[in-house]
Structures are given as C-alpha cells and as structure tokens.
Amino acid sequence: VKELVLDNCRSDDGKVIGLSSDFENLEFLSMINVNLLSVSNLPKLNKLRKLELSDNRISGGLEVLAERTPNLTHLNLSGN
C-alpha cells in the first residue's frame, strides 16, 4: 500500500487503531477530520512523503515527525 486515506474516520482517544509500521511502503497518508489530539502514536513510516492532518485537534508535539517520517516533504496541519 502506497496511499492510505482515512479521512472522516473517528479515532479512539486520539489514536488510529491498526495504523502500524506494517505500512512500510506508505508514501501518502491522509487523516483529515479524525479527531487526532497528537501525532505521538504515529508509527515509523520511512517512505512517507505527504501527510495530511487538517481539521483535527493537534496542538503540539510535532517533533516526533522528524524521527518517524524522515522523508516527509509535505505536511498539512490547517484547521488544528
């Protein structure tokens, strides 16, 4: 899987259950309006380039993205 769109799915206490490092080939991930509180539970996704996180409730803790998504080139956090 290279692209995964979870828009408008509801997270459980700010976590997306089932999203794990098993998605090692993921290049695009969209989690728009899923009620995320932080990105601290995001798995290590080495190939991820584009991450859409608009319309959530994220207020900080973005430093983990540098470690878990080292090839990230596009990040959308609008509406948080």
Which DSSP string corresponds to 27-66? -EEE-TTS----STTPPP-TT--EEE--SS---S-TTHHH
CATH code: domain 1-79 is 3.80.10.10
Pull the structure tokens for residue 45: 């996704």
Domain ranges across the chain: 1-79
Q: Is 33 within 8 Å of 56 (Cβ atoms)?
A: yes
Task: Report CA Rg, the chain.
Answer: 11
What pLDDT, in 10s, does the model give residues 44-74? 999 999 999 999 999 989 999 999 999 999 9
What pLDDT, in 10s, does the model give residues 14-51? 678 888 889 999 999 999 999 999 999 899 999 999 99
Report the predicted TM-score, pTM, of the whole model to 2 decimal places: 0.92
Please calculate the CA angle 62-8-79 and round it to the nearest 5 degrees: 45
